[in-house]
Structure 1
C-alpha cells in the first residue's frame, strides 16, 4: 500500500483494542509522525519506544483536547463505548469542536451501518448526529460505517457451545459481520490514503444468520448446537438473570432487534475497494478462534 497522505496522524482511543491495531498498522507501513491519544498514557507507554508520540486526551475533558490535537493533520475519531444516552454524542461533539479549532484537515470516524432513525440499536442517534457534526465541521471526512464485530460472536458463541444451544432474538435476520482487525485495516488505510470526503460501509464478505452461526458452532464443537429463536424481552430477562444490569441487557438486545428487522443485513465491497482486500468471513474467523470458543466459560 502506498502512503498518499502526509501526517501527523492522530489516533484517538489508542489504548483500546481497535486503536492499538490501527497504530500497529500505521507503524507497519512506515507512516509518521503518529500521535496516539488516550486517557491513560501509561497503558501505551511501550509505543514511545517505537517512535509514537503519546498524549493524554479525554473527549469528556474539552480542555485536554487542544493540546492532544495540536499540530495534527489527519484524525481518527474512534467512537466511544459509553452506552448512556447522550454521553457518547457529547464526547464526540467535544472532539469535533477541538478538531475544528486545531485545523484538522481530515477526520476519519468509526460509525455504524444504517444509522437511520428507525434502527432500534439504542445508540444509533449518537452515530447519526456525530456524522452530521463532522460533515458540518469544514474538514474533509471519511465515515466508516462498520457493521457489528464478528468478535462479538466469540463471546456468545462460547456460551452457546457450553449450553448446547444458541439463543438469540434475531429471528431469521442476517448480519454482515466484520472483524475488528478488518475495521482497523480500513481505518488505517483511510488515514493514509483517502482524499476528499466519503461514506463507506465496512462489512464482511457475506451476511449470515444466527442459524448459520449455530451451524458453524456445531462444526467447531463436533455436536449439534441448534439455534433457538427467542423474544427480545426473554433475551433481556436471561441476561439480567446472569447478572447483567437491565440497561446493558436492553442495549445488547437492541442489536438482535436490529438484525431481526434487517438493519444490519448490509454487505458492501467498500472494504475491498479501500484496502485492496476483502474482509474475513465469519466462518473462517470462528474456525481461527476455535480454541477460544472451546474454552469453558469462567464461573461467575
Structure 2
C-alpha cells in the first residue's frame, strides 16, 4: 500500500501521537507521511526522520489546498480555536473544501460523542457542522468521535486534591475517560488502514465512572480524601470565575458537566482495541502513572 497519509495539527499532542504510532507502532514509511502545521519550524524533529513537512493555516484556503495536494488520506484534527464563536467551524469547513479541491480520496476527522443539536457542550455545533460538511463533500470519510481524555482531569484534579473538595454539577453522570495516546493509536490505525467505506467511530476508555467514583479512585491512589460537592450549573460557573477561570471559558467547562449529567457521554465502546489491537488504559492506571503530578 503506497497511499500518502497527511496529518494536520501535527505539532499538537494528538497530532504528534498519531504520527508516533504511524512511524513506530505501524511502521509506516516516513516517505508516505505528510505532517502539517502553521509553523513548520516546530516539526524539525519529524523532518529529520524523513517526513514531509508542509505549512497549513486553517485561516488560509490556498495554504490548505497546497498542503493537501498529493495526499490520499487526510486527517483533520479539530483546531483549538474556541475564543471566537463560529471561527472553528469556518476553519474546518475551509479545510473540507480544500480537501475536495485537492482531490483527497479519504477524509478523516476528530469529532466528539453526540455532537448533534441539543448537546449542552458549547462547542458541539462546531463538530456537528464539520461532520455535515464532510458528508456533503462527497469524499468518503472516517469520523472519530473522541471521548473525553484522561488528561482532561489535570484541569480539575490537582485543585481538588489540594483543597480536598471537588465542585461539580455532573451529579451521577458517567464518563469513560480514555488516554489520549490510546485514541492516537486507534486514529493512526484508521488512517493507515486503507479502508474506503464511510464510517463513524466513538472512542472511549474501558469503563465509565461518576465524579464520586473518580474521587474514590484518586483517594485510593494518593491517600488524600476528596469531598465531592454538587452545585447547580450557575453556582459552578460563578465559582470558576471567582477562582480565576476566564469569564468566556467558565461556561464551556460547566457545559461539560451539564453534558455528563444528561447522560450524553456515558457510552463505553471497544473501538480503541478493535482499531489498534491494544486494550485501552484504565483510569486507575492513569492516576497511578501521574500520581506525582496530580498530588503536587
Q: Give the TM-score, by structure 2 length.
A: 0.95
Query: What does residue range 65-214 of structure 1 map to in structure 2 within 5 Å?
Result: 65-83=64-82, 84-193=84-193, 194-214=195-215
8 A contact 2:72–2:105 mirrored in 1: yes
User: TM-score if structure 1 supplies the norm length?
Assistant: 0.94
CA shift, 1:127, in A, is 0.8
Aligned to 1:298: none
Query: In 1, distance between residues paired with 2:256 and 2:71?
Result: 35
Aligned length: 291
Task: Indicate the RMSD between aligned Cα atoms, in angstroms.
Answer: 1.2
**How big is each residue's C-alpha offset from its partner over 1:130-172, in whole Å with a ceiling of 9 and x where there is no partner?**
1111112122111101111111112311111111112211111
Partners of 1:169 and 1:6 in 2: how far apart? Answer: 49
Contact 2:168/2:231 (<8 A) preserved: yes
SS, match of residue 136 in structure 1? helix
For structure 1, list consecutive stretches of 5 or more residues without a partner in the other structure.
296-300
Are the equivalent residues in 2 in contact too, given 1:204–1:278 (CA < 8 A)? no
Worse-matched range after superposition: 180-189 or 274-283: 274-283
CA offsets 1:199-229 (integer angstroms, 9 cap, x no match): 1110111111100111012112213212111
Determine if contact 1:142/1:198 at 8 Å carries over to the other structure.
Answer: yes
Contact 1:215 1:226 in 2 (8 A): no
Q: Cα distance, 1:242 vs. partner? A: 2.2
Structure 2, unaligned runs of 5 or more: none
Instruction: For residue 90 of structure 1, report the CA deviation from its aligned partner.
Output: 0.1
For residues 285 and 56 of structure 1, what CA distance do their matches in structure 2 show? 34
1:12-23 to 2 correspondence within 5 Å?
12-23=8-19
Instruction: Answer yes or no: is the 8 Å Cα contact 2:186–2:273 preserved in 1.
Output: no
Instruction: Spell out structure 1 runs of 4+ moving beyond 4 A.
Output: none
